[in-house]
Structure formats: C-alpha cells, structure tokens
C-alpha cells in the first residue's frame, strides 16, 4: 500500500469532533450505568461506593450519570475495586448478571425486572385457562432447554 493510499484511509477513518464527543458520551453512559448497577447490586449508598472507589460522592454521581468519563488510571482503579474486567466495565453487558444466570427480584439491581413481573401478573387475569397453560408450557420449555444446554457443556 502506498503512502497516498494510507493517507486516504486515515482521512476516511478520521472522526469529526462531534462524532468523537458522541462516542465518548455513549461510553461514559455505559461505564456510569455499570457502576450504578454494581452499586445498587451491593446495596451501597453513593457515599459508600465513592469511599470504596476512592472518589468523591459528587464525582461518582457525575460518572454514574455519564456526565464524566473516567481517566484511564481511574478506570483501572474502578475495575480493581469492583472486581470487574475492563470489558465488563466498558460494555453494556456489564457484570450485574448474565442472561442465563438466575436473578433475584429482591436484588435492588434487578428493579427493572420487577416491573416485568408486575406486568405479567397484571395481564394473567385477562387470559383464558388455555392461554395460561400455553404460557406455562412455553416457560417450562425454556427451563428444559436451559437444562439441556447446561448438561451438554
């Protein structure tokens, strides 16, 4: 590849300031959401979590809201303090729970799932007996499939 081709590729790959700011905002929101989820999962106040991370509560609040992005050094400190890998902190998957892990609806980190449970309970009386049996069979099928997948590993 010639230098001209390399320069053309670099120019095409270059992001505008607005694009960089937009991507940084997305990353900040992901990091902040993962920190908030972990704080709530542990049942910590923002003050307690800030103490664990060696940050001020106000700065931690900014991180959780995605208003600030931690420096690389802070990122490493946060990962070490929370027992996260950088992948877990920097991705939307986070570490709150995997999709195949059983979750407790009593866990503060799973408040969004309580809404799902409430919606199901609200809709159930509107269903016929046959529709309820069908839903139960679907849920049982998912549970059986998960057992098979785990058994084959």
Q: Based on the domain organization, do 13 and 88 belong to the same domain?
A: yes
Q: Based on the domain organization, do 88 and 138 belong to the same domain?
A: no
Q: Based on the domain organization, do 79 and 110 belong to the same domain?
A: no
Longest dimension (CA), the chain: 71
Tokens standing for 36? 């908030």
Residue range(s) defining the domain that contains residue 34: 1-96
CA 50 to chain centre: 19
How many domains, the chain? 2
Q: Based on the domain organization, do 91 and 109 belong to the same domain?
A: no
pLDDT at 67: 92
Question: What distance in Å separates the CA atoms of residue 96 and residue 116, rounded to the nearest whole number?
Answer: 17
CA 137 to chain centre: 30
What are the angstrom distances between the C-alpha of 3 and each of 6, 12, 13, 15, 17? 5, 14, 15, 20, 25
Can you give the pLDDT of all 153 residues of the chain as single tens digits? 566 666 555 565 676 777 778 888 888 888 999 899 888 888 889 999 899 888 999 999 999 999 998 988 898 888 888 888 888 888 876 554 444 556 666 666 666 666 677 777 777 788 788 888 888 888 888 777 777 776 655
Specify the DSSP class assigned to residue 2.
-
3-class state of residue 78 by DSSP: helix
Its pTM stands at: 0.54
Q: Based on the domain organization, do 83 and 109 belong to the same domain?
A: no
pLDDT at 124: 79
pLDDT at 91: 82
Specify the DSSP class assigned to residue 84.
-
């Amino acid at each position: 590849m010639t230098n001209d081709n390399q320069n053309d590729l670099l120019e095409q790959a270059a992001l505008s300031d607005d694009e960089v700011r937009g991507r940084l905002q997305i990353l900040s929101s992901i990091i902040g959401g993962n920190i908030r989820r972990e704080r709530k999962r542990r049942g910590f106040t923002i003050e307690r979590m800030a103490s664990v991370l060696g940050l001020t509560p106000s700065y931690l609040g900014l991180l959780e809201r995605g208003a600030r992005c931690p420096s690389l050094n802070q990122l490493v400190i946060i990962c070490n303090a929370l027992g996260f890998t950088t992948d877990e902190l920097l991705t939307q998957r986070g570490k709150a729970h995997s999709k195949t892990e059983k979750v407790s609806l009593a866990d503060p980190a799973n408040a969004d799932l309580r809404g799902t449970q409430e919606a199901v309970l609200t809709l159930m009386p509107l269903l016929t007996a046959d529709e309820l049996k069908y839903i139960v069979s679907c849920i049982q099928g998912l549970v059986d499939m998960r057992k098979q997948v785990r058994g084959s590993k």
